[in-house]
C-alpha cells in the first residue's frame, strides 16, 4: 500500500534512524527496490526525478521534454509503482524528486503521489519560500508530504552544472520551515550528485548538527534530507571499467560519514547513482557476453546507442535506463 512520507519521517526522527530513498525509472528497478525492502521488512521510499520523466515517456533527448511529455512519464511510472505497491505488504512512498515546474509537481499530487519535492534552491531565499509554500498549501490539503531544499549541491544538481557548492546556512533553516510548513528539507553540506564526488570528500557534519540544534531550540518539527549520498562502490567502478567503461575519478560519500549525522535530524538519504552504476555494469556485462544481438530488437537499439555514443555512458556515469 501507498503511504504519505510524513509517517516515516516522524518515525525516523523519533528513533534517530533514517530511511534510504531510491531513484527509480523502470519496472525492474521498482521491483528490485521493493523486493530488497521486503526482505528487511522495511517500508520503502521510491522516488522519480523530474528530469527523467521525459525519458520515462520515451523521449530520447529527455532533457528537452515538454510539460505534457513529463506528465506522460509521471503517469507511466506512477501506474507501475501503484501496481507494485498493491502487491506488497510493506508500506510504499511514491515521491517526486527535485520537482522544479510547479505545474508538474501539482500534476504528481493529482496523480496520487504521496510525497513531492519542490526544489526552489536555485531561487533567492524569499522566492524559494513563496514557491515552496504554494506547493505545501496544495499538497497538505490532500495529505501529501512536501520536501524543500535550501542551499545548492555541487556537481550536476539536476541538469545544471554548479562549479561550487553553496552550503545551507543553518541560521536560515528554522525560518524556512516556519514560513513554508514543509515537512522536510534537503540541505547542502558537502555531498553532491553523480559519481564524481571527489576522492576524499569530507561532509560538513557541523552544518547538519547546527541545523538540527536550531530546530530543536525553536521547537520545529521537521526532518532533514541528505541528497547526493551514493557511496560509489569501487567494485562497481572497476567492474564497469574492466568491461570497457571509462569512469575516471568516480568516488562516493564514505558511508561512515553519513551514519554519523543520522542522529541529527537526517531522516531520508537519497541514492540514485549507486543503482545506475550497478545497472551499467550489468548492461556492459550483457553486451560483452552476447555478441550476436538482433539489430532490430529493443536490445539492439540500446547496443547501437552505446556503440555510437560510448561517451553517453561514461560521461553521465551511467547508462540511463533506456532498455527494459
Ligand atoms: P546520488 O547521485 O549520490 O545517488 O544522489 C541522488 C540524489 O540526491 C537524488 O535526488
Ligand atoms: O536519477 C537521478 C539521480 O539520482 C540524480 O542525478 O545522480 O545523475 O546527479 P545524478
Ligand atoms: Na537544488
Ligand atoms: Zn538530489
Would you list the DSSP string of 271-321?
E-HHHHHHHHHHHHHHHHH-----TTSHHHHHHHHHHH-HHHHHHHTS--S
Nearest to 4 by CA among 186, 178, 140, 131: 140
Whether 137 sits among the annotated catalytic residues: the reply is: no
Q: What is the mean pLDDT of residues 248-272?
A: 95
Kindly state the DSSP code that residue 232 receives in the 8-state scheme.
Answer: -
Q: Is residue 278 a part of any domain in this protein?
A: no
Give residue-wise pLDDT tens across range 149-206.
999 886 544 434 444 568 999 999 999 999 999 999 999 999 988 888 889 999 999 9
In degrees and rounded to multiples of 5, residue 136 shows phi and psi of: -60, -45
Ligand 1 and 192: CB distance under 6 A: no
What is the overall mean pLDDT for the chain? 90
In whole angstroms, what is the distance from residue 286 CA to residue 290 CA?
6
- Using DSSP, state whether 113 is helix, strand or coil: coil
Point out the catalytic residue in the list 61, 86, 89, 97. Answer: 97
Q: Is residue 324 a part of any domain in this protein?
A: no
Ligand 2 and 47: CB distance under 6 A: no
Q: Is residue 143 a part of any domain in this protein?
A: yes
Q: Which ligand is nearest to the CA of 151?
A: 3
Could you identify the residue written with the cell 525509472?
Answer: 25
For ligand 2, mutation pick of 26, 198, 272, 313 (most atoms within 8 Å of CB): 272
Report the CATH number that the domain containing residue 161 is assigned in CATH: 3.20.20.70
Give the strand order in the sheet containing 192-193: 160-162, 154-157, 192-193
Q: Is residue 198 a part of any domain in this protein?
A: yes
Q: Is residue 284 a part of any domain in this protein?
A: no
- Buried b / exposed e over 70-84, threshold 16 CB at 10 Å, is bbbbbbbbbebbbeb
Give long-range contacts, CB 8 A cutoff, 24+ apart: 32-36. Answer: 34/84, 34/85, 34/88, 34/90, 34/92
Give residue-wise pLDDT tens across range 103-155.
999 999 999 999 999 999 999 999 999 999 999 999 999 999 999 999 988 65
Q: Residue 275 CA: which ligand 1 atom is closest?
A: 4
Q: Is residue 12 a part of any domain in this protein?
A: yes
Residue nearest to atom 8 of ligand 2 (CA): 194
Could you identify the residue written with the cell 527496490?
Answer: 33
**pLDDT category, 324, cuts 50, 70, 90?**
very low
Ligand 1 and 23: CB distance under 6 A: yes
User: Counting Cβ atoms within 10 Å, is residue 320 exposed (0-12), middle (13-18) or buried (19+)?
Assistant: middle
Helix residue ranges, H only, 51-101: 53-56, 67-87
Domain count, the chain: 1
Half-sphere exposure of 315 (CA within 13 A, CB side): 6
Whether 213 contacts 174, CB under 8 Å: no
Ligand 1 and 271: CB distance under 6 A: yes
- Whether the per-residue pLDDT at 213 is higher than 70: the answer is yes
Binding residues are 98, 119, 149, 193-194, 227-230, 270-273
Q: Which domain holds residue 84?
A: 5-273
Distance of CA 228 to the CA centre of its chain: 8
**pTM given for the model:** 0.91
In degrees and rounded to multiples of 5, residue 19 shows phi and psi of: -95, 145
Ligand 1 and 193: CB distance under 6 A: yes
Give residue-wise pLDDT tens across range 9-46.
999 999 999 999 999 999 999 999 999 999 999 999 99
Q: Is residue 318 a part of any domain in this protein?
A: no
Q: Is residue 293 a part of any domain in this protein?
A: no
Half-sphere exposure of 97 (CA within 13 A, CB side): 26
Amino acid at each position: 500500500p501507498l503511504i504519505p512520507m510524513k509517517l516515516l519521517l516522524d518515525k525516523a526522527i523519533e528513533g534517530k534512524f533514517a530511511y534510504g530513498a531510491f531513484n527509480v525509472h523502470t519496472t525492474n528497478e521498482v521491483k528490485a527496490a521493493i523486493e530488497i525492502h521486503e526482505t528487511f521488512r522495511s517500508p520503502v521510499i521510491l522516488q522519480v526525478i523530474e528530469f527523467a520523466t521525459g525519458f520515462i515517456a520515451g523521449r530520447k533527448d529527455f532533457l528537452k521534454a515538454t510539460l505534457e511529455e513529463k506528465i506522460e512519464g509521471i503517469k507511466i511510472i506512477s501506474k507501475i509503482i501503484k501496481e507494485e505497491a498493491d502487491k506488497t505488504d510493506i508500506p510504499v512512498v511514491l515521491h517526486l524528486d527535485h520537482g522544479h515546474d510547479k505545474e508538474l509537481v501539482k500534476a504528481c499530487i493529482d496523480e496520487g503521489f504521496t510525497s513531492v519535492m519542490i526544489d526552489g534552491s536555485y531561487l533567492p531565499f524569499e522566492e524559494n519560500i513563496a514557491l515552496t509554500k504554494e506547493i505545501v498549501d496544495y499538497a497538505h490539503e490532500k495529505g501529501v508530504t512536501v520536501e524543500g531544499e535550501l542551499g545548492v549541491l555541487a556537481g550536476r544538481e539536476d541538469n545544471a552544472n554548479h562549479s561550487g557548492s553553496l552550503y545551507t546556512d543553518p541560521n536560515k533553516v528554522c525560518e524556512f520551515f516556519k514560513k513554508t510548513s514543509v515537512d522536510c528539507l534537503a540541505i547542502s553540506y558537502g555531498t553532491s550528485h553523480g559519481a564524481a564526488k571527489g576522492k576524499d570528500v569530507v561532509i560538513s557534519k557541523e552544518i547538519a548538527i547546527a541545523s538540527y540544534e536550531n530546530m530543536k531550540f525553536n521547537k520545529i518539527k521537521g526532518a532533514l534530507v541528505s541528497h547526493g549520498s551514493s557511496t560509489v562502490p569501487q567494485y562497481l567502478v572497476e567492474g564497469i571499467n574492466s568491461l570497457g567503461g571509462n569512469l575516471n575519478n568516480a568516488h562516493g560519500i564514505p558511508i561512515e560519514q553519513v551514519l554519523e549525522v543520522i542522529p541529527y535530524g537526517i531522516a531520508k538519504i537519497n541514492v540514485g547513482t549507486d543503482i545506475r552504476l550497478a545497472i551499467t555494469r550489468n548492461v556492459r556485462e550483457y553486451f560483452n557476453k552476447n555478441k550476436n544481438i538482433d539489430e532490430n530488437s529493443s536490445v539492439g537499439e540500446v547496443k547501437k546507442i552505446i556503440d555510437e555514443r560510448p561517451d553517453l555512458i561514461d560521461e553521465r556515469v551511467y547508462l540511463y535506463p533506456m532498455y527494459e
